[in-house]
Amino acid sequence: MFRPLLMCLLFALSLPAGAQAIKIATLAPEGSAWMRELRTAAEEVGKGTEGRVQVKFYPGGVMGNDAVVLRKMRLGQLQGGVLTASELSMVYPDAPAYSLPFLFDDWNDVQRVRAAVDPLLAKGFEERGLRMLGVSGVGFAYLMGDRPLRRQADVAGIKLWVPQNDVIAIRTFEAAGISPIPLPIGDVFTSLQTGMVDTVANTPSGAIALQWHGKLKHMVDLPLTFVVGYLVLDEKAWKRLSPADQQVLAKAFGEAAARMDATVQRDNLAALEALKGQGLSVHTLAPEEAARWRAAGNQVIADMEARGELSAGVMSAVRKALAADGTP
């Protein structure tokens, strides 16, 4: 339990005199594409600020889950985190705007909407004391499990994992007639091995990176949600930096996020082909079943808007951007 504190202390002692320490935690494992890009950005920050700003990462969840990281940011033990939309929704309700069920069909939809909505989300985070340094897609999540799921009868009795505190996912699956099992992401591997869980929603590359793929034999070819990660910094830490150093930090991590978007697309395509090569079967839903799932997702979004859980401004911008290409 003392290892993260010891790591923080050693980092502080290693800083040049007068350097600003930016400590950022993430669940991304060491060696992943995310960490490679983040470390590249950190090197650029060190060089661009001539050592005035030093960025240190704590990967692989060593600082705890997203909720714990947010708490440590509030206490000043960390300055930033790469966090999921579901946890950030507790701070900023519009954070899951890109991850609403069945919102996007492909990456073209995502890119068109993000061009219009990223600035709105950045402003919303800033108003709540967080600086959005970057947002990057993790990819589209698909249902994967130990059996084919083509029709409504096929989903009866499945033991479906959802991320802990992911209220939108829970509501969506419940609207589709499934009682999901919320668990921390670190518990899923063991739960698949023991049979406590037999179905998950994840990206192809995520299933491989987390080593879940050995228990996943079937996938539904219908993108449920678009998964994103936000790199956010505590606004107090941001304001301690000079304007010039702020510019260096924003540029380095903004460019890293853009590179990650391109990398993620390639990685997910390659991961899906690798999974197929290991025996994964990909199934298309019956048309009436696909329509039923989409209707469940639309109802969840409508209910959230009716309750004021999503702002009218952000949702209007999302729909306008989608409609610009003829998307209904």
Q: Supply the pLDDT for residue 325.
A: 62
Q: Supply the pLDDT for residue 326.
A: 52
Domains of the chain, earliest start first: 3-323 (3.40.190.170)
Region 67-78: mean pLDDT is: 94
pLDDT tens for 156-170 read: 899 999 998 899 999
The residues, ordered by sequence, that sit 6+ positions from 30 with a Cβ below 8 Å of its Cβ are 59, 60
Q: How far apart are the first and last CA of the chain?
A: 51
Q: Pick the range with the lowest mean pLDDT from 130-134, 175-179, 321-325.
A: 321-325
Give the closest residue to 41 by CA, choosing from 257, 312, 302: 257
Total number of residues shown for the chain? 328
pLDDT tens for 86-108 read: 889 999 999 999 999 999 999 99
Residue 197: how many other CB atoms lie within 10 Å: 25
What tokens appear for 156 in the block?
């009866």
Confidence of residue 231 (pLDDT cuts 50, 70, 90): very high
Confidence of residue 270 (pLDDT cuts 50, 70, 90): very high
Cα–Cα distance, 161 to 200 (Å, whole number): 5
The residues, ordered by sequence, that sit 6+ positions from 271 with a Cβ below 8 Å of its Cβ are 203, 204, 205, 207, 208
pLDDT tens for 213-226 read: 999 999 999 999 99
Q: Supply the pLDDT for residue 89.
A: 92
Q: Supply the pLDDT for residue 192.
A: 97
Q: Supply the pLDDT for residue 209.
A: 86
Cross-strand bridge partners of residue 57: 24
44 pLDDT higher than 80: yes
